[in-house]
Structure 1
Amino acid sequence: MTLRELQLLVKEGEHATLEFKKKVAHPEKIIREIVAFANTGGGNLLIGVSDDGNISGLRFPEEEAWTLNKAISQHCKPQIQFVQEKIALPGSKWVLRYYISESPHKPHFVLEPEPLPAHVYPRPRNPHPPLRKRTYVRVADRSIQASREMREIMRGRQRPKDVGFRWTEKEQVLMQYLQEHPFITLRTYAKTAGIPLSLASRTLVRLVLANVLDIEAAENEDRFSAKYPEQED
């Protein structure tokens, strides 16, 4: 990528497939963006660019790349493929570009330390704290934690097959609701249909995989909408 191409890309501002980081100060947070790109539609991560689009650059790009590459290798599971590039700036500075394509092996997870309860004090000095797996997806210009339903849908889409279901009362209640509303959430569906959250979750996942519903990831609750067939002219 040339400097001119970089400048044009930065002018777009952060969005679903573009993220800026001034430097690799907290690699454990940056790899969330990389996982989100791999789990969604891919994207570019630019190191050496501020959130406001100022191309400040890096003096020692090799050190920054080594830190981030180590974090990707150790904390992203399964491993994520990426393309790394150095872009020269005036004044002996550089921008690091990481291009991550949408992965065929979703979902990818970040291994993060398990947080201790707030009441635990003093904090134990454990060099190897227990880890938890979290997965992230890209929504607009943010990377958010994926819901259980989104994770199951990503897994299901990696095993393409015909998904069968029967139109029972709970599906009829769902589709009737969606005729009157643009979307429904998991909790609203469970309450409306009078069914447990676990059953509502399985039903929504199955209908998305059957291409009956669409899912839109959101920070609080995912939104499910009816996927009507396109009308012919």
Structure 2
Amino acid sequence: MTVKEAKKIIKEGENFYTEFKRKFSTHEKIAKEIIAFANSNGGKLFFGVDDDGSIVGVESEKESAYLISQSASEYCEPAVELSISVIELYGKDIVIAEIPESQVKPHRIQDYKSQINYNTAKVFIRMNSKCVQASKEMIKFLYTSYRDFEE
């Protein structure tokens, strides 16, 4: 992603495809956002950007990129493929995770169970500019839609 593209997206604010994070919180919270984008139409997570679009930067771009990557690979089931870039804006580094729409839905928080349990699976989707837990019906829809598409 270019600096020009990043500035344009930040100016537009959070929406169905864009989420701002001031800083990295926990692996599970970041995994929820990654999962929501992967289970929906894809999107971008900006770290080092406040909800109002102001640039605060990240303390360590390498550590942030590692923690995001770790959240996608170890806390998402199945793991989510994403790309990470670091951009300097106004003298501060921001980290951007670009998550494509997944072809292996539904993704969920890693719970080390081999089968989806529709009653307890932590599956997330995007609704407007928010990450929300999917209903049992939505989980079944995501699961069967992908399986029908595959066959």
The superposition leaves residues 28-47 of structure 1 with CA deviations (integer Å, 9 ceiling, x where unpaired) of 21211110000011001111
Tell me how large the CA RMSD over aligned residues is. Answer: 1.6
What is the letter of the counterpart of residue 93 of structure 2? W
Written as runs of structure 1 = structure 2, the 5 A alignment for 1:137-156 is 137-156=125-144
2:9 and 2:41 map into 1 onto residues whose CA distance is: 17
* Ranges of 4+ aligned residues in structure 1 off by more than 6 Å: none
Aligned equivalent of 1:24: 24
C-alpha contact (below 8 Å) 2:77/2:107 kept by paired residues: yes
2:139 and 2:15 map into 1 onto residues whose CA distance is: 22
2:147 and 2:26 map into 1 onto residues whose CA distance is: 35
When structure 1 is superposed on structure 2, of 22-31 and 46-55 the one drifting more is 22-31
The superposition leaves residues 112-166 of structure 1 with CA deviations (integer Å, 9 ceiling, x where unpaired) of 6xxxxxxxxxxxxxxxxxxx640001000101000110011111111227xxxxx
Aligned equivalent of 2:56: 56
Aligned equivalent of 1:15: 15
Stretches of structure 2 lacking an aligned partner (at least 5 in a row): 112-119
C-alpha contact (below 8 Å) 2:35/2:107 kept by paired residues: yes
The two structures have a TM-score, normalised by structure 1, of: 0.57
C-alpha contact (below 8 Å) 1:111/1:133 kept by paired residues: no
Identity %: 37
Aligned equivalent of 2:105: 106
Aligned equivalent of 1:136: 124
Aligned equivalent of 2:35: 35
Q: If you compute each CA radius of gyration, which structure gives the higher value, 1 or 2?
A: 1
The superposition leaves residues 50-75 of structure 1 with CA deviations (integer Å, 9 ceiling, x where unpaired) of 11110111231101111222222211
The two structures have a TM-score, normalised by structure 2, of: 0.86
C-alpha contact (below 8 Å) 1:40/1:102 kept by paired residues: yes
Report the CA distance between 1:95 and its aligned residue. Answer: 0.9
2:147 and 2:72 map into 1 onto residues whose CA distance is: 26
1:3 and 1:72 map into 2 onto residues whose CA distance is: 24
2:71 and 2:148 map into 1 onto residues whose CA distance is: 32
Instruction: Specify the SS of the correspondent of 1:16.
Output: coil
Higher RCO structure, 1 or 2 (CA under 8 Å, sep 6+): 2
